[in-house]
Amino acid sequence: MRAAIVLAAGSLMIGGALLASVGAAAPDPVPETPAAAPAETLKSAADFVSIKDPAARSVALFTEAGKVITSPRCLNCHPVQRAPTQGEDRHPHNPPMVGGQAGHGPVGLPCGSCHGPANVRTWGQDVQSIPGDPKWALAPAEMAWQGKSLGAICAQIKNPARNGGRSLAELHHHMAQDHLVGWAWSPGDGRRPAPGTQARFGELVQAWIDTGAKCPKA
């Protein structure tokens, strides 16, 4: 009888130790992702038809589209310094990174080393996801926007000599349909999307072109 009691007690001790070890080895739960700030909206082109003067309407349309162009989702990839920035405050990329000659990172450390074809969620609190797209890269130097007024950006992007040789039609196609541009509205956990939608943005750009592609004052 005593032996049976000792054996039973030993089994309880071992069972308790196993339960404790399993509990200790269990991974921490995935941290909850804080609710993202609501995306800013964009007016439609139809909201500007009451502006009878075409030039004034064109400026108003581009100013509305400028909410996207000057959002962190766009500016972080359109730096003047040829080094990407991050976050809503556009702080320097961590780890330090430069665009390199082709905008895909320096030799030996291309952007694709960390950025894959799609966003990847992480376990971190500060960095909740790593952004990705099949064409992930820094914008070309001729499309550098950071630190410039909306009027200056407007003059730059409609000038073929300063926008990579794009016509206004090609510029619209790029903004309205390019997949990498579209990433701005699906930027992954922890990032606020660009205002509106890519379709609404493309609509505003087309209406801006149709009214003479006029620019706000610099």
DSSP 35: P
Q: How far apart are CA 17 and CA 215, in angstroms?
A: 73
Q: 38 pLDDT band (50/70/90 cuts)? A: low
Instruction: Name the domain count of the chain.
Output: 1
Residue 163 domain boundaries: 44-97+138-210
110 within some domain: no
- As a whole-number percent, the residues of the chain with pLDDT over 70 amount to 82
25 within some domain: no
113 within some domain: no
Nearest CA to 77 among 168, 187, 167, 151? 187
32 within some domain: no
User: Tens digits of per-residue pLDDT, 55-110?
Assistant: 999 999 999 999 999 999 999 999 999 999 999 999 999 999 999 888 999 999 99
178 within some domain: yes
26 within some domain: no
DSSP 59: H
154 within some domain: yes
151 within some domain: yes
User: Tens digits of per-residue pLDDT, 113-136?
Assistant: 999 999 999 987 788 999 999 999
Backbone φ, ψ for residue 120 (5° rounding): -125, 125
> Which residues sit opposite 120 in a β-bridge?
130
User: Tens digits of per-residue pLDDT, 158-203?
Assistant: 999 999 899 999 999 999 999 999 999 999 999 999 999 999 999 9
